């Protein structure tokens, strides 16, 4: 039911989707859905909150296992890109439908978004403090990096020029450059050869 709602919200928008539409997509009458879910809004909130919780959980895993702030940023960005490439509908609905959420669910999603952005910003600030990164504004750098990943959901498709992993690695390089990381070894090294 959640996946059917997600596909419909992405295709025709939350407000234009009815419970009857969702019911038809899963092969049951619209009114019967209320045995499983309280409302269409509950489905939207589950999708959007679940998306942010998944992103945060992926980020926590990404930064674990290394104390190198540059590697932590790379891994965080790669996780961000992989999620947006593999969960395009969730990303699309999550960004388009924030205004469709009622309170307190809208605040719950916005709080998780702020937490997620803060994780990237604090990594960049830490890197600046260590001399690994050089930026005027860690906040602008973190917004730029996050926006890159969000954009992936709008154009990436499997079977294209790059695999998800290739894309993630290249975006990791771009993010490190946004953060002002220095490549070692001069210009002879391949892109992504940060050590």
What global pTM score does this model have?
A: 0.87
Are 47 and 5 contacting, i.e. CB atoms less than 8 angstroms apart?
A: yes
Peptide bond into 101 cis (omega under 30): no
Model confidence at 194: pLDDT above 70: no
Q: What is the pLDDT of residue 158?
A: 84
Quote the CA–CA distance of 191 and 94 in Å, as a whole number.
Answer: 32
Q: What is the pLDDT of residue 159?
A: 83
Residue 34 DSSP one-character state: G
Work out the average pLDDT over 173-189.
Answer: 73
Q: At 80, is the pLDDT very low, low, confident or very high (cuts 50, 70, 90)? A: very high
Residue 181 DSSP one-character state: P
Residue with tokens 């980020």: 59
For 88-99, how does the pLDDT look when each residue is reduced to its tens digit (9 = 90+)? 999 999 999 999
For 125-152, how does the pLDDT look when each residue is reduced to its tens digit (9 = 90+)? 999 999 999 999 999 999 999 999 889 9
For 27-76, how does the pLDDT look when each residue is reduced to its tens digit (9 = 90+)? 887 667 777 788 899 999 999 999 999 999 999 999 998 999 999 999 99
Beta carbons within 10 angstroms of residue 187's beta carbon: 5
């Amino acid at each position: 039911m959640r996946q059917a709602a997600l596909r419909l919200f992405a295709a025709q928008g939350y407000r234009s989707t009815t419970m009857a539409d969702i019911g038809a997509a899963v092969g049951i009458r619209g009114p019967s859905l209320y045995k499983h879910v309280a409302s269409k809004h509950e489905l939207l909130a589950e999708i959007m909150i679940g998306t942010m919780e998944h992103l945060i959980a992926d980020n926590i895993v990404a930064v674990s296992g290394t104390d190198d702030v540059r590697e932590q940023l790379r891994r965080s960005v790669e996780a961000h890109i992989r999620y947006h490439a593999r969960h395009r509908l969730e990303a699309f609905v999550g960004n388009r439908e924030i205004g469709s959420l009622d309170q307190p669910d809208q605040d719950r999603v916005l709080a998780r978004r702020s937490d997620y952005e803060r994780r990237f910003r604090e990594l960049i600030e830490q890197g600046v403090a260590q001399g690994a990164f050089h930026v005027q504004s860690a906040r602008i750098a973190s917004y730029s990096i996050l926006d890159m990943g969000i954009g992936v959901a709008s154009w990436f498709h499997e079977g294209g020029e790059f695999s998800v992993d290739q894309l993630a690695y290249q975006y990791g390089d771009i993010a490190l450059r946004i953060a002002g990381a220095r490549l070692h070894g001069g210009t002879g090294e391949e892109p992504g050869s940060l050590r």
